[in-house]
Amino acid sequence: MSSARYAVSQKIDAGGMAEIWMGRARTNDGFVRPVAIKRILPHLVNDEHFARLFLDEARITLKLSHGNLVQTLDVGSAAGVHYLVMEWVDGLNLRSFLRQVGPGLALGPATYIARQVLEGLAYAHDATDLEGEPLQIVHRDISPPNVLLSRHGEVKVADFGLARARGRISRTRPGIIQGKYAYMCPELVAGEPVDRRADLFAVGILLWEMLAGARLFRADSDAATLDRVRACEVPPLPAMVPPVVAAVVMRALARDPDARYPTARALHDALTDALPLDAVRFTGFDLADLVAEVMPDAPPDVIAPPLFVDVPTALVAQLGRVAPHADLLDALTAGIERLEAQAGIDDERRSGSDRRKRRRAPGGRRHTDRSVFVDRVLVLLDAGMGNAEVAEHLNAEGLTTRTNTPWTAKAIAQLARRARQRRRASGDEDASSVL
């Protein structure tokens, strides 16, 4: 998608590392499609650790393609800020859905959602790279905000930002537990190594909460929540839940990973076998009906003109001069430069750090941070792009070599070879996240 240009229309959500915008992709031929654009939060732009986490997500998700996973379409950078372009899921997340329908979900929809999540996880857990080597992916953040339900009855797992996988660039900072505490497994809280069974435990929590209409481990404070996870005391499900189904859920929530189901496929099949016929017959069509009941009537596919929230009025006026298909960050940069020109602020009156951020090569071509840039090139190559394609992709964004010349296939090959040699020498070639 290197030929596409992206524009945002409105902010959808934000988390601890990034924010999600509704947007559109426009190709050189004029075709437009809705997309979701995920970009790193402004105050984390210069934090190399978070930049690497963001690129790790791109590295993982560009290799995945499954109907129950949110598809990543492109990765790019504008004004020094990385972004991911993902498929637009026309719907809402599981957290919002449960808040709308009220406590306690019927057996059919609850187990259908869980089984669809498990199908996506089964694919991700068994995914391989282009050489057939296992990626060893563990999502590590399965939770209601990261399960999306579409108007068409689809269920999709989102946000691999904290996923563990072979070949990750970043490492979890020592002593830091990342993720949503109420959906963690005991071994993750204890700082022990985790595998795919950590994701199955999280699915067990989702199932228990959907069926019970209550939170399983959440307490009044983070510390109390973590204590509950460590203790792993699971109350029985309501009597209306068939005992065989309850037994499957309780095994998924076993404190000892060895006592849980070994794979997502095994949990999926056990749950399906335990369901009564009416629950098995619940389908995506039925879920679409439920989503339609709680979603606004406004047609979601209509993308409004670009809206820039939390931006000064004067800057909004300047942005109005920007072409509607322009990238948001480029538009913001252009608007700020116009305002500075009106206020008589020239390059000499900016701070040194600000001048470095805005430094341009002759002809308007942009430089970027070297280490993060190299990581991004490797992400694109690992995703299956050829050297010539990567060079074209970078040149389309206005990025140059250190000598201010356009990128070529040969230059990309040399850059990648040297970077991988350095990683092998440092022992980080196959580094994975550790707690």
pLDDT of residue 325: 42
User: Across 21-25, 138-142, 360-364, which has the greatest mean pLDDT?
Assistant: 138-142
Q: What is the spatial order of strands in the sheet that 147-150 belongs to?
A: 91-93, 147-150, 155-157
Does residue 109 register a pLDDT over 90? yes
pLDDT of residue 79: 72
Confidence at 48, pLDDT banded by 50, 70, 90: confident
Does residue 2 register a pLDDT over 50? no
User: Which of the two residues, 396 and 198, has the higher pLDDT score?
Assistant: 198
**Average confidence (pLDDT) over 8-35:** 81
Q: What is the mean pLDDT of the chain?
A: 78
Does residue 396 register a pLDDT over 60? yes
Catalytic residue set: 141
**CB neighbour burial string for 126-145, b if at least 16 within 10 angstroms, e if fewer:** ebeeeeeeebbbbbbbbbbb
User: For residue 270, what are its two tokens?
Assistant: 């056990």
Q: Assess contact for 208 and 253: CB atoms under 8 A.
A: yes
The domains located in the chain, with CATH, are 91-294 (1.10.510.10), 359-435 (no CATH)
222-240 pLDDT tens trace: 899 999 999 999 999 999 9
Confidence at 168, pLDDT banded by 50, 70, 90: very low
User: For residue 298, what are its two tokens?
Assistant: 């406004």
Three-state secondary structure string covering 105-161: CCHHHHHHHHHHHHHHHHHHHHCECCCCCECCCECCCCCHHHEEEECCCCEEECCCC
User: Which of the two residues, 398 and 338, has the higher pLDDT score?
Assistant: 398
Confidence at 202, pLDDT banded by 50, 70, 90: very high
User: Which of the two residues, 409 and 208, has the higher pLDDT score?
Assistant: 208
Confidence at 89, pLDDT banded by 50, 70, 90: very high
**Average confidence (pLDDT) over 280-291:** 95
User: Across 10-24, 88-102, 266-280, which has the greatest mean pLDDT?
Assistant: 266-280
Percentage of the chain beyond pLDDT 90 is: 38
User: Which of the two residues, 123 and 303, has the higher pLDDT score?
Assistant: 123
Confidence at 263, pLDDT banded by 50, 70, 90: very high
User: Which of the two residues, 434 and 293, has the higher pLDDT score?
Assistant: 293
Does residue 118 register a pLDDT over 80? yes
Does residue 332 register a pLDDT over 60? no
Does residue 302 register a pLDDT over 90? no
User: For residue 194, what are its two tokens?
Assistant: 């985790």
Find the distance separating the first CA and the last CA of the chain, reported in whole Å.
35
Compute how many other C-beta atoms are within 10 angstroms of the C-beta atom of residue 415.
20
Does residue 252 register a pLDDT over 70? yes
Does residue 17 register a pLDDT over 80? no
Minimum mean pLDDT among 26-40, 77-91, 326-340, 344-358: which range?
344-358
- Picking from 234, 274, 236, the residue whose alpha carbon sits closest to that of residue 254 is 234
pLDDT of residue 98: 93
The rounded Cα 14 to chain-centroid distance in angstroms is 11
User: Which of the two residues, 328 and 15, has the higher pLDDT score?
Assistant: 15
**Average confidence (pLDDT) over 244-270:** 97
- Tokens 């259908």, residue located: 112
pTM greater than 0.75: no
Does residue 210 register a pLDDT over 70? yes
Does residue 301 register a pLDDT over 90? no
